[in-house]
Amino acid sequence: MIDAALIPWLIAGVPLLGAAVSPALWAQPHRLIAWSVGACGASLASVAGVGFAGYLAPQPEGLLLLFLLPLAAGVSLLGQPHHQDHRASWVLTLIFLGLGLGALTSQPVVGTLFLIAIHGLVIVLLYRHHTPLWPISWWGLGAYTLGALCLALTLVAAPPLSSMAALLVCAILLPLVPFHDGHLTALTRLPGNLPSFMVLLFPALGLHSLAPLAATLPDTVAWMVGGLALAGTVYGAVKALAQSRVRLLLSYSSLSFFSMLWWCVATARAVTPRAALFVGAMGLVMCGLLLAWQIIRTRYGDDVDPQAISGLASTMPQYAVLLSLLALAAMGLPPFGVFAGFVGLLLSSTAAFSAGIVVLICAWLASSWYILDLVQGLLFGARRADLRYADLLQTELVSLVIIVLTLLALGVAPITLFGPDRTPASISSTPTSTHPGSVAWNK
Amino acid sequence: MEQINPSIDIESRRMELRGVVQLAGEVIAQYWPMRTFVHHNPLHSLEYLPFEETARRGKQFMGGHSYLPGALYREYLKSGRMQTAHLDAVLKPLVQNQSVTIGSRQIAHGDVLRSCLTEGLCAPVTEPLDDQLYDPEKETLDAVAAGLAAGWTFPDLRKRIDLIVEGDQAALGRWLTLSHWCDDTLGTQIVRQINDQLIKWCEAFLDEGHAAWAMPERERGLYSSWKALAAQEWSPCGIADSRRKIAQLPDYPEDALLQSLDALGIPSPLRQDYLSLQLTALPGWAGFIKWRAEERDYPWQQAYPVGLVKFLAIRVWYAHELVQKACRDELGIEGRYDAIVAYMRERPDEYYLRRQRVAGRLPALYAEEVDRLRHHKGTGWSRVIERYAADVVPRQEIAARRGAAKRLSALARSLELDPALLASAPPATLTQLFNWMEAFPEADHGPVWLKALEAAYQQRLLGQLRTPAAQRTASANPPGTSRPYSQSVYCIDVRSEPFRRHLESTGPHETYGFAGFFAAFIRYRAWGKEHDTEQFPVIMRAKNEVREIPRSYFDHKVSKHEARTKWVQAGHTLLHDLKENVVTPYVMVESLGWFYGLPIFGKTLLPALYHRWTSWLRHLFVPTIATTLTVDKMAPAETAEMLATEHHAVIRKVLHEQAGLRSSRIAPALVEALRQQALNGQGDLDPALIESAQPAGLSAEALPPLIDILRRQYDLTARSTSRHKERITRMGFTVEEQALTVDTALRMMGLTHNLARLILFCAHGSTSENNPYESALDCGACGGNEGKPNARVLAMMANNPLVRKRLAKNKLAIPPDTHFLAGQMDTTTDDVQLFDLEDVPPTHRADLARLLEDLNEASALTSLERCARFPDVQEPLDEQAAKAHVRQRSVDWSQVRPEWGLSGNTAFVIGRRELTKGLDLDGRVFLQSYDARQDPSGRLLEVLLTGPQVVAQWINMEHYFSAVDNDVYGSGSKIYHNVVGRIGIMSGPWSDLRLGLARQTVMNGDVPYHEPMRLLSIVEAPRARIDKLIERHEVLRHFYHNEWVHLIALDPEDLAWYRYRSTGVWTPLE
């Protein structure tokens, strides 16, 4: 029998070990990326082994995100060009994966330390990749610094200060207006494949941190969070509509969708496996779209303007099909996971029909507009004679196919597969003491 | 100083403007309505320029390509349609006597040029700044790029900006409208907005009975009706205060156009080009307006006048308003030519960044920075350009060198050199190679490819024509050796060639080629129709009219037939109105919707059976009645009598309805007196009229109102009668006219001796379902109509004994046992139908039966040949299956290629049939029969070169341009076609009127089915005679000197072949 306390270290250790070995392969990018993907596979296997063996402590949000993180890390690596400039990001992916899995499976204090490490790494990376042409990245840096400070505060301060700090951390990781700049900056400024992994990692960590807090939110705070969530939903959708850069568009789009989740959590005061399904599916679909965009950048340069690319439907048919499927998933159409997660959230929500739901539906419809607009612009229109077109490489194809199939599986698999399907009401009625990591707002 | 009269000044300005607009309209071709689709060159008005220059103009104004993409020409090369030798021959004048050495290999300039063509090395490629795709040749490429660095300098950013500014300044007004400039610089959508508005107004105004609700006030003309209605609109295109602005526009479109041009500040020298650009923004609608404006007798034009000035007055008003708004809002400058030029000159950095941003050529971060500066009206443009120069330009330089290295590496591979050798080559050699490639860009390849492709085809065709008679599939014995079974004359159309070949293979039948209107210039009205069709080439005019009337022995059935036809028409009208009405469709779908299920299933699942069934039903209800044509002209007395009878009937009707008189009380004298009074009397009543009215009980006071009704309601006036009379006198031909027509036709055909017992004039038409461009499949020489009336007219004339007498006097003896038949070939089913068989003498029944049998066999063989060309027919068919297949295609409403016969046309042979007899010309050659020995004066040849050849060239060019750039010069995919206004088609619900031919007509998938080549005319005639004609006719000089048509002559005097060069010199062919 394995000691339960060792389980998080075991799960976190596999990718970290992979990262530790990677310097030996530094001079051979092809081998390095293969090794990194292998480490992600091993990580997924370790999570699956430990999870199915019943060694993992039950989480309110279920175990789905634990499985999705190594998967997302692996596909984000697969979709990368084998270029030496990206070696650091491959190793960092493993480190972030290790730290993230550690944060998700560890006890509160250790988990907080893992989170602090993640914040610290992100701050360093964002600082290194700061550009004067993108001054907003200072705000992103500030957000993560605030997050790190808040995490430290949760370790040393007493409630309600620690609770407030914990909620702020959640709002930075699972983006909530006005603390969303970190999310935007991470998705636009981090190098290589990191944005496509981070778009799932951070929200997953945020949701995990929010789970113990949700049931204890005072009415005023819940009302404020609900209001901010609705504002964020609209703000994200409107900003996404106005974007011309793909990564920013996807950042704002994900902000809008994650804000919907915030609203549902604030009204239900609970984080259920359905919420995890939504975060997992949304994170994965954004990961897929970012990868799809990365495939374009691989061919036409990092800084390519999406306006310059068109007519891919005839020239890159495999890419066109997979991008279309991802777009359908991102728009929340069945049978993909985003649809299942969103509808599950709404159906299990305790909130009656309200203005909030109308806002959510409107933002959802808006997403159909900007996502279709983006896809239409890339796939259709005039074929440029001066561009070289090369359809998907095998690794790119595999990465996108895995994402599409996973989204499909998330859409059709029963929710009980990822954790006990409890209604928010039943979770709320459960004493908070059952959650070892819960934090009281008022003693 | 003498005072200038302002009104004269304004009028002279208007006149000057009209002239400028006319010249500006040269770049667009007329657009004929689709019911008489006329194949024509979309750049017809520019034929006075050399082909290559016109191609450049087409690119400049329409944005169209005049050559196929290089990749398709390379496919032709790979498939053997042309050989490298053809390319080398065309490249010869471009090759320099220079070479470089790489390793031990010497590479000549010509080798590089050939590789550029065959490998597509000079296609413009945008090299990404940070390409991350794995490239196994990376090391070699890096080495070559490093080698290039020494001798090759990347242009400085400042110089590039200056070049762009200078180029755009020069282009503004000439190649670039101010609206386009705004769209390219500010990211606006002004051109689209204006087009949308113009499409809306043109679609409504030019409608010819398609719309359920017609646009009001159309009788005032396009400009005035737009002015009246647009002034009611609320802020079109976001133009502020538009109602007041439109209301204040001048009444005359010329004044409005001048006002807008002045407001835009377009300098006078640029106005013609500027207006050309405005017209080519919507060449379809503008082309149709141009055509209508030139057809002053066109009924719709008379009712609702339209012209290019009116069109431009509206268009340029929108342009001025939107450009002004965009320039003020975005740049803070006036939307004028001079202000924009000053902006480019004074703020080049900002201009450069804005343009690059809109074109999507800025890195994303810079794009965002530019957006920020635009929105906040920032002033940091110089700062951004400095950072751009420091950050992006070096990366651009690296990317450009890498791109150059890739091209050199591809060149090395195409020359079977190891690319690694390039890495060790001296920089000067690499630079030299690269410069050679740069000096021969892909844009210059089109003419070379085209000439090579044409040379290859011409070589094949001339090889065939030189095939000795003994090696041909049918004997090429000269006619006259024995009397043939029949002689038949077909249209020169390329679709006749296979049929003629197959008919000749069935027995001793002689065939001839002649323009399908058979020299009968007629305006024709079919029985039961209300409109005339013009049965002659659109470049000509007719003065004779012919009507189809029932044969006299069917008189007793006519009224029944007419009544039933009216019932059918009423039914159609009712269904149409029920469908188009605002309310009734809701009820109709519920009650009658199921009824439409039958045609839908029938047409979709069993089209042939459904067609047979409905045809049977139609004939059961409205039986066919044999008809004849009014070929003979009426005598003046007969005309007067006919008119008087018509008038009398009208007057009797009025007397009955208005005065309540019974027929028994209406005396002929009264009727005639009333007629005379209505026709001639302007003042007091004629006493004879008063006197004849008294017995009928009509007082003198009752008569004037009756006369007024006759004049006003029934148009019983002297002028109307005169018009009617003139019309009747145009009906038919006098015997002299008939003799002249037959004489001309037979001589031009070469049918002057050894005439057979049966001579068939075989016109052609087509049958297809759900095909808006059905008339495009009909006879171009008959104005896009079926040629049946012309064939019948000529046969009736030639059978007229009086005409034969006259011909005999002209030394054209037609044997008494020769009978002329009229027929028509359906080019979709290959069936030949003969007409007026009632007139065939009983003595000719056996001949007729034999001819019909052979025609059927030829028809089956032709169908078999055609089926082999259809891409959807995978398996070889037998004759019966082929017949059934082509019949099914013709009635299949989902069939996008019911015929596919005209595509592929490439050459035009004017000569004796002996030249082409027994040769399989693949249905690609127009065949015009001509015997130079019968035409010593060259008069007939003159007609052929200036008539049929022009028609053939129009058909050829229509296909050429539709194939090379179907999006611009063609009409795109049939899948999206929508009929608009009964005049043409649009793509989808909102587009320009689509020009040219559909994609499915000229393309087979992504590969052209019609191999686009310029027409090759092969004339069997003495060169001196041709020279004289070229000298006499400008159109011929344009064709041959400007290389629109290739000319080759077979000189009967020395039996040698000669090519006519664009310099006007004949060179013998090897």
What is the rounded distance in angstroms from the CA atom of residue A298 to the CA atom of residue A288? 15
Q: Does B559 touch chain A (CB under 8 A)?
A: no
What is the rounded distance in angstroms from the CA atom of residue B367 to the CA atom of residue A134? 11
Q: Does B367 touch chain A (CB under 8 A)?
A: yes
Please state, as a whole number, how many other Cβ atoms lie within 10 Å of the Cβ of residue A269: 18
- Name the burial class of residue B890, with classes exposed (0-12), middle (13-18) and buried (19+) by CB atoms within 10 angstroms of its CB: buried
In this prediction, residue B3 carries a pLDDT of: 54
**Closest among A56, A98, A94 to A77, alpha carbons compared:** A94
Stretch (H or E) spanning A25: none
Give, rounded to a whole angstrom, the gap between the first and last alpha carbons of chain B: 73
Q: Does B129 touch chain A (CB under 8 A)?
A: yes
Please say whether the beta carbons of A160 and A442 come within 8 A: yes
What is the rounded distance in angstroms from the CA atom of residue B924 to the CA atom of residue B906? 6
Candidates B127, B133, B442: best to mutate against A (most CBs of A within 10 A) is B133
DSSP string covering B110-155: HHHHHHHHHHTTTS-----TT--S--TTHHHHHHHHHHHHHH--PP
pLDDT in tens, B753-787: 899 999 999 999 999 998 888 888 999 889 889 99
Cis peptide before A160 (omega within 30 of 0): yes
Mean pLDDT to the nearest integer, B47-68: 92
DSSP string covering B224-260: HHHHHHHTTSS-GGG-TTHHHHHHTS-SSHHHHHHHH
Q: Which residues of B touch A299 (CB under 8 A)?
A: 128, 131, 133
pLDDT in tens, B2-24: 555 666 688 889 999 999 999 99
Q: Domain coordinates of chain A in residue numbers?
A: 6-428
What is the rounded distance in angstroms from the CA atom of residue B82 to the CA atom of residue B73? 9
**Closest among B978, B845, B1045 to B47, alpha carbons compared:** B1045
Three-state DSSP class for residue B360 = coil
Instruction: Enumerate the H helices of B935-1061 as residue ranges.
Output: 939-946, 948-964, 999-1002, 1023-1032, 1034-1041
**Closest among A30, A65, A40 to A207, alpha carbons compared:** A65
The residue in chain B having the minimum alpha-carbon distance to the alpha carbon of residue A189 is B365
Q: Which amino acid is at A354?
A: S
**Closest among B65, B70, B71 to B52, alpha carbons compared:** B65
Q: State whether A303 and B129 contact (CB < 8 Å).
A: yes
Q: Which residues of B touch A307 (CB under 8 A)?
A: 359-360
**Closest among B22, B346, B295, B289 to B162, alpha carbons compared:** B346
Candidates A30, A80, A89, A300: best to mutate against B (most CBs of B within 10 A) is A300
Q: Domain coordinates of chain B in residue numbers?
A: 1-66+162-346, 483-518+735-903, 552-625, 636-726
What is the rounded distance in angstroms from the CA atom of residue A77 to the CA atom of residue A93? 8
pLDDT above 90: residue B662: no
pLDDT in tens, B847-899: 999 999 999 999 999 999 999 989 888 888 999 999 999 999 999 999 999 99
Q: Which residues of A touch B124 (CB under 8 A)?
A: 385-386
**Closest among B253, B703, B29, B1008 to B261, alpha carbons compared:** B253
In this prediction, residue A442 carries a pLDDT of: 44
Torsion, Cα of A290, A295, A297, A298 (10° steps): 140
Query: B823 has which bridge partners?
Result: B762, B834
Please say whether the beta carbons of A308 and A300 come within 8 A: yes
More confident residue, B524 or B591: B524
Please say whether the beta carbons of B205 and B226 come within 8 A: yes
What is the rounded distance in angstroms from the CA atom of residue B776 to the CA atom of residue B896? 13
pLDDT above 90: residue B365: no
Measured CA to CA in angstroms, residue B691 lies from A292, A329, B206 at distances of: 99, 95, 53
Three-state DSSP class for residue B854 = helix
Q: Does B560 touch chain A (CB under 8 A)?
A: no
Candidates B127, B130, B376: best to mutate against A (most CBs of A within 10 A) is B130
pLDDT in tens, B446-474: 999 999 999 999 999 999 999 887 777 66
Q: Which amino acid is at B616?
A: W
**Closest among A323, A89, A337 to A195, alpha carbons compared:** A89
Q: Taking an 8 Å Cβ-Cβ cutoff, which residues of chain A contact chain B? A: 81-83, 85-86, 131-134, 244-245, 297-309, 384-388, 390
In this prediction, residue B865 carries a pLDDT of: 94
Q: Which residues contact B148 (CB under 8 A, 6 or more apart)?
A: B401, B404, B405, B408, B427, B430, B431, B434
What is the rounded distance in angstroms from the CA atom of residue B730 to the CA atom of residue B557? 28
Mean pLDDT to the nearest integer, B1001-1013: 93
Three-state DSSP class for residue A271 = coil
Mean pLDDT to the nearest integer, B528-551: 85
Over the Cα atoms of chain A, what is R_g? 20
**Closest among B20, B531, B454, B429 to B258, alpha carbons compared:** B20
Please say whether the beta carbons of A188 and A136 come within 8 A: no
What is the rounded distance in angstroms from the CA atom of residue B128 to the CA atom of residue B400? 9
pLDDT along chain A (443 residues), means of 10: 76 93 90 94 92 78 89 94 87 95 89 94 92 80 94 87 92 94 92 93 94 87 93 95 90 95 89 90 96 92 84 93 95 90 79 77 91 92 82 93 95 77 55 41 43
Q: Does B132 touch chain A (CB under 8 A)?
A: yes
Q: State whether A133 and B124 contact (CB < 8 Å).
A: no
Q: State whether B366 and A133 contact (CB < 8 Å).
A: yes
What is the rounded distance in angstroms from the CA atom of residue B716 to the CA atom of residue B676? 10
Stretch (H or E) spanning B813: none
The model's pTM is: 0.84
**Closest among A306, A287, A315 to A246, alpha carbons compared:** A306
Q: Which residues contact B163 (CB under 8 A, 6 or more apart)?
A: B155
Pairing status of strand B758-765 against strand B486-491: parallel
Ramachandran angles phi, psi of B864, nearest 5°: -60, -45
Q: Does B670 touch chain A (CB under 8 A)?
A: no
CB nearest to B124's CB, from A131, A298, A385: A385
Q: State whether A303 and B124 contact (CB < 8 Å).
A: no
pLDDT above 90: residue B310: yes
Q: Which residues of A touch B387 (CB under 8 A)?
A: 132-133
B119-151 burial code (b ≥16 CB/10 A, e <16)? bbbbbeebbbbbbbeeeeeeebbbbbbebbbee
Please say whether the beta carbons of B625 and B558 come within 8 A: yes
**Closest among B859, B880, B882, B856 to B870, alpha carbons compared:** B882
Please say whether the beta carbons of B457 and B1011 come within 8 A: yes
Please say whether the beta carbons of A153 and A146 come within 8 A: no
Instruction: Retrieve residue A347's tokens.
Output: 């159906």
In this prediction, residue B82 carries a pLDDT of: 95
What is the rounded distance in angstroms from the CA atom of residue A154 to the CA atom of residue A114? 13
- Whole-complex ipTM: 0.78
Over the Cα atoms of chain B, what is R_g? 34
Look over chain B and give the mean of its residue pLDDT values, rounded to a whole number: 90
| Backbone torsion region of residue B550, taken as left when φ is above 0, otherwise alpha when ψ lies between -120 and 50, otherwise beta | beta
In this prediction, residue B798 carries a pLDDT of: 96
Distance of CA B973 to the CA centre of its chain: 16
In this prediction, residue B642 carries a pLDDT of: 79
Q: State whether B69 and A297 contact (CB < 8 Å).
A: no
Please state, as a whole number, how many other Cβ atoms lie within 10 Å of the Cβ of residue B1000: 19
Mean pLDDT to the nearest integer, B393-401: 90
What is the rounded distance in angstroms from the CA atom of residue B1055 to the CA atom of residue B306? 54
pLDDT in tens, B148-194: 887 778 888 999 999 999 999 999 998 899 999 999 999 999 999 99
pLDDT in tens, B971-1000: 999 999 999 999 999 999 899 999 899 999
Q: How many CA atoms lie within 13 A of B1014 on its CB side?
A: 21
Distance from CA of B361 to the nearest CA of A (A): 7
Q: Which residues contact B848 (CB under 8 A, 6 or more apart)?
A: B758, B821, B834, B837, B840
Ramachandran angles phi, psi of B1066, nearest 5°: -90, 135
Q: State whether A386 and B359 contact (CB < 8 Å).
A: no
Q: Which amino acid is at A47?
A: V
pLDDT in tens, B1058-1067: 999 999 999 9
**Closest among B674, B571, B539, B580 to B210, alpha carbons compared:** B580
Candidates B121, B126, B373, B973: best to mutate against A (most CBs of A within 10 A) is B126
